[in-house]
Amino acid sequence: MTTSTMPSHPLDPLSSAEVQRACDLIRQESGLGEHLRIAQLLLHEPDKKDVLSYQPGQPFNRQAFGVILDKRSGDTYEAIADLAGGRVSLTRMNEAESEFGQACILMEEFAEAERIVKADPGWRAAMQKRGLNDAEMELVQVDPFSAGYFDLEHERGKRIVHAVCYYREELTDNGYARPIEGVVAHVDLIAGKVAHLVDERVVPIPKKKRNYHGEALGTPRSDLKELNIVQPDGPSFEVNGWEVKWQKWSFRVGFTPREGLVLHQLSYDDDGQERPIIYRASVTEMVVPYADPTANHYWKSAFDGGEYGLGKCANQLELGCDCLGLIHYFDIPAADDFGQAYDMKNAVCMHEEDYGTLWKHNEFRSGIHELRRSRRLVISFFATVGNYDYGFYWYLYQDGTIQLEAKLTGIIQTAAVTPGEPYPWGGMVDEGLAGPTHQHFFNARLHMMVDGEQNSVTETEFHPTPMGPKNPYGNVFETRSRTLKTELDTTGIAEGRVGTYWKIINPNVKNSVGNPTGYKLVVNPSPLMLAHPEATVQARGGFATRHVWVTPYTPAEKFASGDYPNQHPGGDGLPKYTASNRPIENTDLVVWHTFGHTHVCKPEDFPIMPVEYAGFLLKPNGFFRANAAMDLPKNTDQHSVQDGTGTHCCGGDKKN
List, by residue number, the catalytic residues.
304, 388
- DSSP-derived 3-state class of residue 507: strand
Residues in a beta bridge with 605: none
Distances in Å between the alpha carbon of 251 and those of 237, 239, 409?
A: 11, 10, 28
Q: Positive or negative CA dihedral for 209, 210, 211, 217?
A: positive
- What string of DSSP letters covers 565-608? -BT--S--SHHHHTTT--B-SSB-EEEEEEEEEEE---GGGSSS
Q: Mention every residue, 6+ apart, whose C-beta is less than 8 A from residue 62.
A: 7, 14, 18, 43, 83, 84
- In the chain, the amino acid numbered 609 is M
* Angstrom distance (rounded) from CA 509 to CA 513: 11
* Angstrom distance (rounded) from CA 409 to CA 604: 12
Are 66 and 78 in contact by the 8 Å Cβ rule? The answer is yes
Cis omega (within 30 of 0) for bond into 633: no
Burial of residue 297 (number of CB atoms within 10 Å: 0-12, 13-18, 19+): buried
- Single out the residue of 374, 308, 349 nearest to residue 144, CA to CA: 308
Maximal C-alpha separation, the chain:
85
- In the chain, the amino acid numbered 34 is E
- Single out the residue of 480, 451, 445 nearest to residue 577, CA to CA: 445
Convert 393-462 into a string of H (helix), E (strand) and C (coil). Answer: EEEEECCCCEEEEEEEEECCCCEECCCCCCCCCEEEEECCEEEECEEEEEEEEEEECCCCCCEEEEEEEE
* Angstrom distance (rounded) from CA 409 to CA 322: 13
- Does residue 57 come out as left (phi exceeding 0), alpha (psi in the -120 to 50 range) or beta? left
- Single out the residue of 332, 325, 400, 409 nearest to residue 610, CA to CA: 409
> The sheet that has 36-43: what strands, in order across it?
36-43, 63-70, 76-82, 87-92
* Angstrom distance (rounded) from CA 515 to CA 503: 13
- What is the enclosing helix (H) or strand (E) of 40? strand 36-43
